[in-house]
Amino acid sequence: MATYVRHTRPVQIDELPAHVRENLSAHAESRQLALGTARLWLTHSENPPAGSAFGRLVGRRLNPADPDAEHITVLVLHPTHLLVVTDGAKRGTAVLSLPLMQASVAAGTGLGPAFDRLADEPGGFTITGFAGEQPGSYFVGMGPEPEAVDCFEEVRSAIAAAKNPT
């Protein structure tokens, strides 16, 4: 059973919760990124109650490591950058970004086909290339909707176009 129940849909920036929009806008402004032409997708992730009777009794969730019963992830495809926003009641709001030229993307967890077959999180993709001592990666969980596939394809195409200009 998958750890999360997810649903993905395209959104406009004004549809985001005010505090998420403010954090995203502040992050973008600090990097001189105008979000006017950016494409956005929002994934709502629910961490349902544990399946066992004992787990339900003590209020455990299917993913006990996640402090939130639900959270959102917003993927922003800017003409030159990729931004990821995560927001939950306990985890707070975090924004990451990287230039498309620096990014790589792979379907699944990015840990290989054998792991993806066993993983609880089959729906989504991994973005690699975030700055750090070693390039960091981030798994973006997606819902089963066709819009999630469109999101992945648009991100993959944008990265390829940035790295291979005509």
pTM of the model: 0.85
Residue 59 binned pLDDT confidence (cut-offs 50, 70, 90)? low
Q: What is the pLDDT of residue 120?
A: 45
The residue type of 59 is G
Question: Residue 48 carries which DSSP code?
Answer: P
CA 50 to chain centroid: 23
Instruction: Calculate mean pLDDT across residues 25-53.
Output: 90
Mean pLDDT (the chain) is 86
Question: Whole domain around residue 149: which residue ranges?
Answer: 5-163
The residue type of 150 is D
Share of the chain above pLDDT 90, in %: 67
Q: What is the pLDDT of residues 97-153, one digit of tens each?
A: 999 999 999 987 544 444 444 344 458 999 999 987 778 999 999 999 999 999 999
Q: Are 48 and 18 in contact (CB under 8 A)?
A: no
- The number of folded domains in the chain is 1
Q: What is the pLDDT of residues 61-77, one digit of tens each?
A: 666 677 888 999 999 99
Q: What is the pLDDT of residue 58?
A: 52
CATH number at residue 148: 2.30.29
